[in-house]
Amino acid sequence: MYHIVRRGVSVLTAMVVVGAVAACSGSSGTSGASVPGVTSTEIIVGTHTPLTGPAAAGYSKISAATKAYFDYVNSKGGVNGRKITFKIMDDGYNPATTQQVVRQLVLQDKVFAILSGLGTPTHTGVLDFLNTNKVPDLFVASGSLSWNQPKKYPYTFGYNPDYTIEGKIFANYIKANLAGKKVCTFGQNDDFGADGLKGVQAVLGASGVTHSETYDVTNTNVGPAIGALKAAGCQVTIAFTVPGFSALALGAAAQLGFRTQWMVSNVGADYATLGGLLKDATGPLLEGVLSTAYLPAPMDTSNPWVSLFMKLNQQYNNNTAFDGNVEYGFAVGYLFVQALKAAGKDLTRQGIVDAVEKNGFSGPGLSALRFSATDHSGFGGLQMGKVQDGKQLVFGPLYTTDDGSGPVTETSSTQPAPPEDGIPS
């Protein structure tokens, strides 16, 4: 999976050529210069995402929802007279494939930006390429700390709360409500799992985690890892997992008679997605599972943002089964349109980076976005969520913290109502 296809000479040559072209064209940000992917009538953006492979469950629905939102905006005239073309490339959650498809999007398709590239192991491998070529790398669909390095990667911005923040908020809940329990973690064997564990230990201390196990996305046999967690006597198990491996872990635990309080990262806890994987076992296996959220619960139809996205999903996304992934796709599309409008009619790559750093965005998020010139991470707050009586809803206060040693604090936040037409002004 991690073997890189031998294209070194040709790719390096192409990168040098593109770098030279960028240096004398739209990358300067000057008015009237040619900007890749931008004409008077069109903006071309691209993404890499797992339409197939081990992370396709649920995640394959995100890009379709984003495209549906763009189709709606295009039906209303687009943004500053330009319609958005969204090129979606399947990378199968394979880092080698991600490098291939992202290079195609940038070098051949000449996209203006990469939007919502999905995955920690996959996107990590294209950071240098995108920033070297000064391609806006917006709202990465992952909570890795890697996206928040504005000096090293000035064109990259996160979206999801950092997994370290999530780990701290999980641990804070444990201290308040599950004190004295043996706490363990089960995480993806990359920055996803490592950053989450770092957050848990920041609050509970290294000795506060009894045992940790990891998994590789190329190996679906999680039985030995779950067996080790059972043997360690884990009473609370925090899973930093993608949906497919959340389902595998819950299923293996049931087969082994391993009873623990599961706490599952927001990226792998969507009820509808897990239900599609667990089938008839959904009810008993998910009841009582704790998670976190930074967008409204997709089951909360009283929320005006959920209502808006459900309506657009019906009209522009073939009325696909609405879940957290569909909501996520619409929310990212909404934010990107906000960023385009903030960047103005004279659209440049540097211009949209500057606009995102100025921030001031509002939308469906439960907490504020933290974008600034010195912070390229996304949301900084989370609410706890729980499955109860077959419904997954958020509860309790909104918590915010940092990815260091700062405290976890309760924070008040007011969610604005969506615009009447569903398009940011």
The whole-number pLDDT of residue 90 equals 98
Please say if the pLDDT value at position 252 is more than 90: yes
Query: Distance between CA 61 and CA 147 in Å, rounded?
Result: 23
Q: pLDDT at residue 32 above 90? A: no
- What is the residue whose two structure tokens read 């390429």? 129
Which phi and psi angles does 4 have, rounded to 5°? -90, 130
Overall average pLDDT of the 188-199 stretch? 97
Q: Look at 149 and 28; give whichever has higher pLDDT.
A: 149
pLDDT tens column, 314-347: 999 999 999 999 999 999 999 999 999 999 999 9
To the nearest 10°, report the CA torsion of 223, 229, 231, 235: -130
Q: Is the pLDDT of residue 217 over 60?
A: yes
In the prediction, which pLDDT does 41 show? 98
| pLDDT for the residue numbered 22 | 40
pLDDT band at residue 16 under the 50/70/90 scheme: very low
Query: In whole angstroms, what is the distance from residue 160 CA to residue 29 CA?
Result: 28
pLDDT score of 10: 38
The whole-number average pLDDT for the span 366-389 is 96
Query: What are the structural domains of the chain?
Result: 8-20+36-161+303-379 (3.40.50.2300), 163-293+384-411 (3.40.50.2300)
Q: Please state, in angstroms and as integers, the Cα–Cα distance from residue 36 to each residue in 24, 71, 92, 347, following that order.
A: 12, 21, 26, 10
Q: Minimal CA–CA distance to 157: which of 170, 169, 148?
A: 148
Residue 19 has pLDDT above 80, yes or no: no
The chain-wide mean pLDDT, for the chain, equals 93
What percent of the chain shows pLDDT beyond 90? 91
pLDDT of amino acid 189:
97
Residue 14 confidence (pLDDT) above 60: no
> Residue 211 class from Cβ within 10 Å (0-12 exposed, 13-18 middle, 19+ buried)?
middle
pLDDT tier, 6 (very low <50, low <70, confident <90, very high otherwise): very low
pLDDT of 254 above 90:
yes
Confidence check: pLDDT of 95 > 90: yes
Amino acid type, 191: D
Tokens of 333: 């599309």
In which order are the strands placed within the sheet that holds 113-115?
83-90, 42-49, 113-115, 137-140, 156-158
Please report the pLDDT score of residue 412 as a whole number. Answer: 85
Average pLDDT of span 61-77: 98
pLDDT in tens, 122-159: 999 999 999 999 999 999 999 999 999 999 999 999 99
Q: Give, as one character, the DSSP assignment of residue 142.
A: S
> Looking at residue 11, what is its pLDDT?
35
pLDDT in the model for residue 33 = 62
Nearest partner of 87 among 72, 108, 58, judged by Cα: 108
pTM: 0.91
pLDDT in tens, 271-287: 999 999 999 999 999 99
* Cα separation values, 377 from 116, 313, 332, 356, 422, Å: 13, 28, 14, 11, 25
DSSP assignment, residue 3?
P
